[in-house]
Amino acid sequence: MDMRAAVPNRCASSLRPPARGMWLPRVSSTAVTALLLAQTFLLLFLVTRPGPSSPAGGKERVHVLVLSSWRSGSSFVGQLFSQHPDVFYLMEPGWHVWATLSQGNAPALHMALRDLVRSVFLCDMDVFDAYLPWRRNLSDLFQWAVSRALCSPPACSAFPRGAISSEAVCKPLCARRPFSLAQEACRSYSHVVLKEVRFFSLQVLYPLLSDPALNLRVVHLVRDPRAVLRSREQTFKDLERGSSTVLDAKGKQVGKDLQLRVLREVCRSHVGIAGAATLHITHGSGLGKPSEAFQTTSRNALKVSQAWRHVLPFARVRRVQELCADALKLLGYRPVYSEAEQRDLALDLLLPRLPKNFSWT
């Protein structure tokens, strides 16, 4: 068969009128008008739908993520932000992700953690529906009372909005306040600051850094790994759940002998993150009692920064330096090569850092 002849015939048949008895749907002009009106209203709704709420004054809200690891002074830095009258601060909201999805390991929980952080930055507290009971109060949030914003109006009236808050005073007065007030309070501030210790990779944060709804800054806070080890060994029981998640060792006891493995993962994360996050290096923030390990109290900053040099055996210090050699070099900490150097407090182990331009790549 000549295909060139078949094609016109097929086209012609497609233009023939329908056979008698075939039903054709008819739409009235009224229905068409109603459909067009419905589409118009839907379009107007989508165009005029409000985006993320803006703080009073109409300025763009600023978002700050304090990115650190356990026992690195991040609670102290968080309090510096929290007590500012323009800041809504939450300490480690990602704790709820790890506590609820306790069977996952750190990398597997990164995405859920990132999504929660984004929602809190946007003051969308409905994200906690997946992690908190249906009937909930402010006190259901992890470490809620360290947030000055949750102890002052509109969340609570324990302190005036511009006053320095106290956790001990706030707890009995504000614990039973409705959880919905956290969202109302968040939307009334120009800055939202979150402190997190559960991100071990910067790559998972890239969607937040490029999100047009966020105005994000990242503060990468680090501490001398040798001082971190000394602090972790004092509080290893309190850190056991987090350590097991880091090592993906569910059901196993993570004692002092495994703290070096946790510290190695922390050092690796610092090296990985530091290429793209600004480093803020300090000498530490206090000695304190073991019972105050997770509290921000008044301490001797010089003593705590040097405490590991008195307490840790040199063999253990040397092992930390082997595991965290790249991190020590990157962060500007000088290794010690003998017990005499370790005990010599006149020897400054914080190397001078040369000015360096920073840019995202």
Query: What is the dihedral angle through the alpha carbons of 124, 130, 135, 136, rounded to the nearest 10 degrees?
Result: -60
Better pLDDT: 287 or 205: 205
Residue 293, pLDDT score: 40
Buried b or exposed e, range 166-193, using 16+ CB within 10 angstroms: ebeebeeebeebebebbbebbbbbbbbb
Buried b or exposed e, range 32-46, using 16+ CB within 10 angstroms: eeeeeeeeeeeeeee
259 residue type, one letter: Q
Decide if pLDDT at 297 tops 70. Answer: no
Q: In the structure, what pLDDT confidence band is assigned to residue 231 with cuts at 50, 70 and 90?
A: confident
- 296 touches 76 (CB < 8 A): yes
Worst-scoring range by mean pLDDT, 58-62, 153-157, 216-220?
A: 58-62
Residue-range domain boundaries for the chain: 60-222, 224-350
pLDDT over 70, % of the chain = 71
What average pLDDT does this structure show over 141-167? 95
End-to-end CA distance of the chain: 63
| H helix or E strand, kind and range, residue 14 | helix 3-14
Buried b or exposed e, range 301-333, using 16+ CB within 10 angstroms: beebbbbbbeebebebbbbbbebbeebbebbbb
Q: How many CB atoms lie within 10 A of CB 210?
A: 10
Q: What is the CA radius of gyration of the chain?
A: 29
- 273-288 per-position pLDDT tens digit: 876 654 433 333 334 4
